[in-house]
Amino acid sequence: APEAPEVPELAEPYLREVLAGAGLAVEYVRAEGNTLYLLDDEGREVPVTDFAGGYGSVLLGHNHPAVVARAQELLAQGTPVHAQFSRHPYANRLAAELNRIIHRELGTEEPYFAIFGNSGAEAVEAAVKHAELDRGMRIAALAEEIAAQRESAVAAVASGTATVDPAALTRLGLTATGDASAAAHLLAAETERRNAVAVARPPLFLALEGGFHGKLAASVQLTHNEGYRAPFRSLAAQARFVPHDRPDVLKEVYAEERGVLLALTVADGRVTVTEREFPVFCAFVVEPIQGEGGIRVLSEEFAREIQEFSAAIGCPVVVDEIQSGMGRTGTLLASSALGLRGDYYTLAKTLGGGIAKTSVMLVRQAYYRKEFEIVHSSTFAKDSFSCHIALKVLELLEADDRLAYRRAAERGDALRAMLESVRTDHPDVIEDVRGRGLMLGIEFRDQSASTSPTVRAVAQGGLFGYVLAGHLLRAHRVRTFPTASALNTLRFEPSVGLSDAEIAQLETGLREVCALLRDGRGDTLTAA
């Protein structure tokens, strides 16, 4: 191949170096279906089977012919790609089609309004912002109601139709010095002061341990991985992270964090202090199947507990379907099969058909605030190109009596059966096989006590999954990656076009890796 002219390396050279360390810094020059092509030393294309699937964005395969044809058609027609602040009928059709499918899956009819974005994290940010706008408006309405009650209580005492309950004063640590009216004013001032403190508290989010929701300022605070989250803590509202299957912890967190506003109410001629629940919790953000957290499926029981808990405390549930959604597990929403209903949904990745960058945040009508449309926008969002491509994606998913969803489920079962068979033969190396449909992972047992010094070093250095991925790429021409926050888990998210031959190719690679680990042959695993 001709030598590339020397250019300074300024586009994330350190990341390239890290990838190179595990043999993963290859350049792909072409992509088609489940295959990525790299060039060998003679400049010939070498096919690599892509089990990373564009990190979940190419469920239909790379450069799906119908998606590419639609893109070419749109460009040839001179589609007005960027026309922010005009009518976007294509966005409307897309929202309607998403609603139609979601209603079918949930068995409901309540509309979900759509706010479009450009990336997954951006859809999460939009959900966070919308939930906070809604919370703020609910707080304002509550504060107004409490102020009116306070004023009428004070007026009732002034006019002699009510007296102040002495217990109310004691409760707030107050001692009345003057007449009833002075006591009422004292109570009013103290409740107002305490309410102002409560209202000034920042919102709090609930999220699951192991969860991943993106890396922008607000979304990264919902992402459990400490390395991604901690340096940016001061930029956005915080989350309390809850372990899976622990409804007791949910109750504990609520008891620790809940807030109240104090109202003055008149009953039987007496002014008393009553508590009103203050909405501290802005949203509960969950993935139905955690992707980056190691391919962990939310249990149906915990999904139900999250739903009931959130409804009871008036906190909306944001179901992040960015990785699990768009048909990957056999339904548009992985959560619909778990019986989980979102007040919000986020979708991205495959929504753009593998060529457009687009995302959407959906909000249930009961929570929707139209004011959001004025305060949130992007130059690029809701553009004609992405919307038309996303419509084509939905058309392809729904075609032939929903063949693509069935394919995802059936190919997923076939892939899973292979992974299970490898596990059965290597129980000493493989800890677990998890996931649904074409969102699968295998967890390797911890190798930090391996007989091989090389394997030990790699396992202790935290790069274990990347080294396995490097070997599979080099020796077997298979592309897979560990999940970012659970490095012993390799994930498999190929397209619905996955063939039996490709499954067999992965099987050969995995069986060899298992044998190398079992026999402590670390040098073969890391050999370049």
- The contact set with ligand F0G (CB under 6 A) reads 55-56, 119-121, 124, 212-214, 287, 291-292, 320, 322-323, 348, 484
Describe the chain by its helix, strand, coil percentages, rounded to 5: 50, 20, 35
DSSP 61-85: -BT-HHHHHHHHHHHHTT------S
Give least dist CB 469 to ligand F0G, A.
13
Measured from the CB atom, the residue of 389 and 514 that comes closer to ligand F0G is 389
CB of 124 to ligand F0G, least distance (A): 6
Give 50's strand partners. 479
- Minimum Å distance from CB 11 to ligand F0G? 17
Residue placing its CB nearer to ligand F0G in the complex, 112 or 278: 112
Q: Which is nearer to ligand F0G, 348 or 510 (CB)?
A: 348
Closer residue to ligand F0G, CB minimum distance, 51 or 278: 51
Q: State the nearest-atom distance from the C-beta of 376 to ligand F0G, in Å.
A: 17
Check: CB of residue 115 under 8 Å from CB of residue 370.
Answer: no
Characterize 176-201 residue by residue with b for buried, 16 or more Cβ atoms within 10 angstroms of its Cβ, and e for exposed: beeeeeebbbbbbebbeeebeeeeee
Please identify, using beta-carbon distances, which residue of 323 and 526 lies nearer to ligand F0G.
Answer: 323
In DSSP terms, 483 is beta-bridged to 486
Q: Is 129 or 511 the residue whose CB approaches ligand F0G more closely? A: 129
How far, CA to CA in Å, does 28 sit from each of 5, 171, 197? 19, 70, 56
Query: Could you give phi then psi for residue 129, rounded to 5 degrees?
Result: -65, -45
Three-class DSSP labels, 384-446: HHHHHHHHHHHHHHHHHHHHHHHHHHHHHHHHHHHHHHHHHHCCCCEEEEEEECCEEEEEECC
Shortest spacing between CB 466 and ligand F0G, in angstroms: 13
- Give the nearest distance from C-beta 524 to ligand F0G in angstroms: 28
Position of minimal CB gap to ligand F0G: 120
Instruction: Supply the DSSP symbol for 350.
Output: G
In this complex, which beta carbon is closest to ligand F0G, that of residue 23 or of residue 56? 56
Strands 35-39 and 28-32: antiparallel
| Between 119 and 149, CB nearer to ligand F0G | 119
For residue 238, which amino acid is it? Q
The whole-angstrom separation of Cα 52 and Cα 58 is 9
In three-state secondary structure terms, 6 is coil
Closest CA to 328 of 226, 425, 424, 405: 405
Least gap, CB of 217 to ligand F0G (angstroms): 12
- Residue 251 burial (CB count, 10 A): 12
Rounded to a whole number of angstroms, the minimum distance from the CB of residue 102 to ligand F0G is: 18
Q: Least Å distance between CB 227 and ligand F0G?
A: 14
CA 4 to chain centre: 39
141: exposed, middle or buried (Cβ count in 10 Å: 0-12, 13-18, 19+)? exposed
Nearer to ligand F0G, 210 or 470 (CB): 210
Half-sphere exposure in the Cβ direction for 368 (13 Å, CA): 15
Cα separation, 357 vs 380, in Å, equals 9
CB of 480 to ligand F0G, least distance (A): 12
Query: Nearest to residue 126, comparing CAs of 115, 138, 135, 111?
Result: 115
Structural contact between residues 261 and 146, judged by C-beta atoms closer than 8 angstroms: yes
Nearer to ligand F0G, 121 or 208 (CB): 121
Q: Tokens standing for 189? A: 């001032």
Q: 122 vs 398, which CB is nearer to ligand F0G? A: 122
Tell me whether residue 53 or residue 497 sits nearer to ligand F0G (CB atom).
53
The structure tokens listed for 225 are: 């991985």
> Do 271 and 153 form a contact (C-beta atoms < 8 A)?
yes
Q: What are the angstrom distances between the C-alpha of 309 and each of 178, 227, 304?
A: 45, 29, 8
Rounded to a whole number of angstroms, the minimum distance from the CB of residue 224 to ligand F0G is: 12
Q: Taking the complex as a whole, how short is the minimal distance between the CB of residue 55 and ligand F0G, in angstroms?
A: 4
Minimum distance, C-beta of residue 352 to ligand F0G, in the bound complex (Å)? 9
Comparison of 213 and 476: residue with beta carbon closer to ligand F0G: 213
Q: Three-class SS of residue 197?
A: helix
